[in-house]
Amino acid sequence: MSLPGREAIESALALVRAVMPPTPQQRWPLLDARSGAQVWVKHENHTPVGAFKVRGGLVYLDALRRREPDVRSVISATRGNHGQSIAFAAARHGLAATIVVPRGNSVEKNAAMRALGAELIEQGEDFQAAREFAVQLAGDRAAHMVPSFHADLVRGVATYWVEFFASFAAGDMPEVVFVPIGLGSGICACAAARAHAGVRTRIVGVVSAHAPAYRLSFEAGCAIEAPVSTLLADGMACRVPESEALAIIRREVDEIVAVSDDEIAAAMRAFFADTHNVAEGAGAASLAALLQQRERWAGRRVGLSLSGGNVDSAQFARVLAGAG
């Protein structure tokens, strides 16, 4: 898969803009002091579903309705934010949405998907098992299976990075952005937006140390399956890399770092203390990576993605209390 070009991104931007305004982008003095860097945060926790994924869902389902006007129902698999985006967009198009999640999924993400009108099915022990069941169910029901990685999803998600890069004058562009990696749409979208903006900002991908498949695959040059044991970063809990995403990541991304659950918990506390924003585990991963590399980026211009804020209340209370 090639990255979306300028025309494709501009059309996605117009579509997204008709539904939601640009998300806030802030520089927080306390984060600057904590990290030692000049930090700009893109607040994708302020979208209509509390995460960046909504942009991809809006663009994907718009394109689907144009390609297949007779489609009546969609099915997808998720750990939560992708499912919310599909449910949100499906409702706008009058489509029935069924979302498959693994057993033990976030209680509050599940509730949000139901509130958006989705039928929710719990199946399998992890995302990969849920996805395999969703594919089978789509066939049984003659429904459209929405993948978790697709060119139209990347095109939609690229709009938040277009907003980010467009906010800087040429000489003020951040030297680096830290981007969490789940299945890959967010970081591939960042690469597309970087090309759209014509800038040379370094892209550093961030994986969970307890879900290292993309880092191992990036270093090895081929897809490597790896076990998932993260307890905080469900949005990064990828066991099997997506081949198309991996190809783009290997071509476009400068490096990939890994952060532990303890580092993510500390970053969640830091975001709340310094900005009073709630970050879910994956949403705090970019800050966790910056704090891990504090000496390297001291005094330099850095961009962070607070990619989502959808964390269960009980889990967030434990994190704030320092209990992980």
* Residue 244 within any structural domain of the chain: yes
* Residue 196 within any structural domain of the chain: yes
Domain stop point among 145, 173, 206: 145
User: DSSP character for 300?
Assistant: S
Residues 70 and 96 in one domain: yes
CA–CA distance, 17 with 14 (Å, rounded to integer): 5
User: DSSP character for 170?
Assistant: G
* Residue 22 within any structural domain of the chain: yes
CA–CA distance, 186 with 154 (Å, rounded to integer): 7
* Residue 215 within any structural domain of the chain: yes
Residues 93 and 184 in one domain: no
Residues 258 and 116 in one domain: no
Q: How far is C-alpha 297 from the geometric centre of its chain's CA atoms? A: 23
Residues 183 and 299 in one domain: yes
Contact status, residue 16 vs residue 159, Cβ threshold 8 Å: yes
* Residue 1 within any structural domain of the chain: no
Q: How many domains does the chain have?
A: 2
CA–CA distance, 316 with 188 (Å, rounded to integer): 29
Residues 14 and 106 in one domain: no
Residues 38 and 169 in one domain: yes
Tens of pLDDT along the chain (324 residues)?
Answer: 889 999 999 999 999 999 999 999 999 999 999 999 999 999 999 999 999 999 999 999 999 999 999 999 999 999 889 999 999 999 999 999 999 999 999 999 999 999 999 999 999 998 889 999 999 999 999 999 999 999 999 999 999 999 999 999 988 999 999 999 999 999 999 999 999 999 999 999 999 999 999 999 999 999 999 999 999 999 999 999 999 999 999 999 999 999 999 999 999 999 999 999 999 999 999 999 999 999 999 999 999 999 999 999 999 999 999 965
* Residue 25 within any structural domain of the chain: yes
Contact status, residue 52 vs residue 307, Cβ threshold 8 Å: yes
Residues 174 and 294 in one domain: yes
Can you give the residue range of the structural domain that contains 103? 53-145
Domain stop point among 93, 127, 145: 145
Contact status, residue 135 vs residue 156, Cβ threshold 8 Å: no
* Residue 32 within any structural domain of the chain: yes
**Model confidence, pTM:** 0.95
Residues 29 and 47 in one domain: yes
Domain stop point among 145, 172, 205: 145
Q: How many helices (H) and strands (E) does the chain have?
A: 13, 10
Q: How far is C-alpha 69 from the geometric centre of its chain's CA atoms? A: 28
Residues 195 and 294 in one domain: yes
Q: How far is C-alpha 178 from the geometric centre of its chain's CA atoms? A: 12
CATH number at residue 191: 3.40.50.1100
Which amino acid belongs to residue 91? A
Residues 119 and 73 in one domain: yes
* β-pair type (38-43, 301-306): parallel
* β-pair type (25-27, 38-43): antiparallel
